[in-house]
Structure 1
Amino acid sequence: MSEICSKCGLPKEICACQAIGKETAQPIHVYTMKTRFKKLVTVIQGIAANEIERAAKELKHKLACGGSSKEGRITLQGDHRSKVKEALVKLGYPEEIIKMR
């Protein structure tokens, strides 16, 4: 017996809740900033609160870096602007909503 989605009531195989949520999401902003001791970090803002932990874990794994997710944003150690957009698209976020600064 397949699992049922708690949001829409459809079987998980045909559930579209995750895709719909990502398509209607707010813009995702990606930028770098300097922290203490002049270290660069990549900051990602705009990912939904219920997906931020999973997205942070996937990004840290794919980009082979450390990081955290606090206060509604993901912080990755190092300058990963060139790779983050591609990684977010692979996670299912539309390319049009990802804004690079």
Structure 2
Amino acid sequence: MDLKDQLKNLFPEHIPEEVSEEKETNDKDIWLQDDPIICKYEKRKGKPITILEGYTGADEDFKILAKELKQKLSVGGSFKNDKIIIQGDYRDKIMQILKDKGFAVKRVGG
């Protein structure tokens, strides 16, 4: 007897609702732009960081992109002042991920 059968026995009048899958963020949901996103490297307090700036779409799309990059790279980071700040020097990986999504990316510095 699995869980659904047990629930039917406990609540015979209950009609189960169809569970809808949550909508995943598709690459098509994020607005692509003509100008390239600037990907640069800095050191703050002796630690390397990668900064992405120059996105002209909605802030919510840029936040979704920041979250996705942090998850794919398994690193920390933040979104502040229309910039994505990623901990560590991941310029090459970030640029490849963004190019796969269809963004134009420009590398600045080093």
Say whether the fold is shared (TM-score over 0.5): yes
Name the count of aligned residue pairs.
79
Secondary structure of 1:42's match? strand
Structure 1's 25 and 50: CA in aligned 2 closer, same or farther, altered over 3 A? farther
- Structure 2: where are the runs of 5+ without partners? 1-27
- The 2-side partners of 1:61 and 1:67 are apart by 10
1:67 is matched by which residue type in structure 2? Answer: G
- The 1-side partners of 2:79 and 2:102 are apart by 18
Which contiguous aligned blocks of 4+ residues in structure 1 show a shift greater than 4 angstroms? none
Residue in structure 2 matched with residue 84 of structure 1 by the alignment? 94
Residue in structure 1 matched with residue 83 of structure 2 by the alignment? 73
Q: CA RMSD in A?
A: 1.7
Residue in structure 2 matched with residue 29 of structure 1 by the alignment? 38
Sequence identity percentage: 32
- Structure 1: where are the runs of 5+ without partners? 1-16
Secondary structure of 1:31's match? strand
* Offset, 1:93: 2.8
2:52 is matched by which residue type in structure 1? Answer: I
2:106 is matched by which residue type in structure 1? Answer: K
Residue in structure 2 matched with residue 39 of structure 1 by the alignment? 47
Q: Aligned pair 1:63/2:70, yes or no?
A: no
* Offset, 1:58: 0.3
